[in-house]
Amino acid sequence: MEQMLSMLLDGAVETLDISPDLQQVAIERYEEVGTWLAEHGGYRCRIYPQGSFRLGTVVRPDSSTGEYDIDLVCWLLIAKENITQADLKQRVGDLLHAYMRWKKRHGHTDGPKICEARRRCWTLAYPDHGFHLDVLPTIPDVEYPPTGILLTDKQLYRWQHSNPIGYANWFRTRSEELQLRLTEAALKRNVNIADVPEWEVRTTLQRVVQVLKWHCMLRFARDPDNRPLSILITTLAARAYRGELDLFTATRNMLAGMDDHIENRHGTWWIPNPAHEEENFADKWNEYPERREAFIAWHRDITGVLDDLVQLQGKGLQVVVSRMAESFGHDAVQLSAQQYGDRLRRHTEAGTLHMTSTGLLTTTAASAPVRGHTFYGQHTDPRG
């Protein structure tokens, strides 16, 4: 049953994942921005992805535009003593605008259509492709070398510590499957494993994070302020992961284990950033207790849904799928069910479908293979 639920969930999440083609376009676009900045910017600088795009845990936002957010770090080699926060933000903005003008001057039509300031970052919009790049201005954090960075806070007043590369490295250590897949990719391309990014593969850990984030996004569609942070869910999930390969089982176990990783330090709720112990992903819980309550309510909901699904064993695939669709979105789950049927048919055609002694169809057991055939009808006298 778990295997079947995994297949349905996996298929649903796959429809929300960024397609390899779109991922490639996004990479080409930001690499071009990075190359241009390096050549024309007058600073030593780098652009690299962070967050869910880097980790390979992207899900399509359930918004009216449905555009993928791709978070990037724009790293300028400037000492913090030599620049203010407002200056850093402005300099990156000026560079990005200069890049846009350069693209237009050279007749390039594939550049960003808009470059606008958000609170912490600059957004380059590529509406034709359905994604935008959020470029976060940063400088090196010399206290946390080599990957620590400093970014501006929302008021452009204090420096915030961050370490997206360190976080991704930690995420990688949480899953042997992920390390194995990255090693395979490295061998195939004859490069160092450190040069294979997480986003190139999809493993159970990444899929679970996508499932959790997607459920959370739908659950808080009308209450976005209280929606648990993706980084918080990702961190708790990865900490609770014990190497399960089955998606459904892994998701249930990880939900059950999350509580063990929420600390209370002398009355303060605390979920440390694994790449930067002083950063508390739960700091807002202390300021706004309703956000912690929202997390608990979400956790209870999704745990309940997964329990329900197991209880529906033997009630009919249509009943199971309806329940799943209530919580994980009608379109995604329906499409997954359809793909499941298509896969089943391909197994029949390939002669890899078998039937067990209770009539169960399986693609693994060494039972009677199902001979190729064609459903036929409705005819009044079809067999004549």
Partner 1 sequence: MASTPTRAVNPARQLTVIRLVLPAATGTVRSGELDCVMSIQPSPASQTYTVRLRYQHGRHPQVTVIDPQLTLHPDAQALPHVYPKEELCLYYPGEWRYDMLLATTILPWTAEWLMHYELWLITGRWTGGGHTGRSTLCRDRRCRRDIGRA
Contacts with partner 1, residue ranges (CB under 8 A)? 1, 3-5, 312-322, 331, 334-335, 337-338, 340-342, 344-345, 348-349, 353-355, 357-361, 368-380, 382-383
For residue 376 the two structure tokens come to 């036929």
The token duo for 179 is 């390390």
Closest distance between partner 1 and the C-beta of residue 53, in Å?
27
Rg (the chain; Cα; Å): 24
Minimum separation from the CB atom of position 338 to partner 1 (A)? 5
Q: How far is the CB of 204 from partner 1 (least distance, A)?
A: 20
For partner 1, the closer of residues 40 and 315 by Cβ is 315
Residue with smaller CB distance to partner 1, 22 or 370: 370
Amino acid at 163: N
SS3 (DSSP) at 277: strand
226 vs 348, which CB is nearer to partner 1?
348
**Residue number with CB closer to partner 1 (24 or 363):** 363
Output the smallest distance, CB 321 to partner 1, in A.
5
The CB-of-84 to partner 1 minimum distance in angstroms stands at: 52
CB of 92 to partner 1, least distance (A): 41
Please give the C-alpha separations between residue 135 and each of 72, 96, 337, in angstroms, as whole numbers: 5, 9, 37
Q: Give the span between the Cα atoms of 92 and 259, in whole angstroms.
A: 40
Query: Closer CB to partner 1, residue 194 or residue 350?
Result: 350
- Report the amino acid identity of residue 238: A
Hey, what are 321's tokens? 């799928």
272 Cβ partners below 8 Å, 6+ apart? 263, 278, 279, 280, 281
The number of beta carbons lying within 10 Å of the beta carbon of residue 183 is 12
Nearer CB in complex with partner 1: 130/257: 130
CB-based contact 120:74 (threshold 8 Å): no
Quick one: tokens of 243?
A: 């190497």
Residues in CB range of 337: below 8 A, 6 or more apart:
8, 11, 317, 321
Query: Shortest distance, CB of residue 372 to partner 1, whole angstroms?
Result: 8
Task: Report the residue number, 289 or 341, with the smaller CB distance to partner 1.
Answer: 341
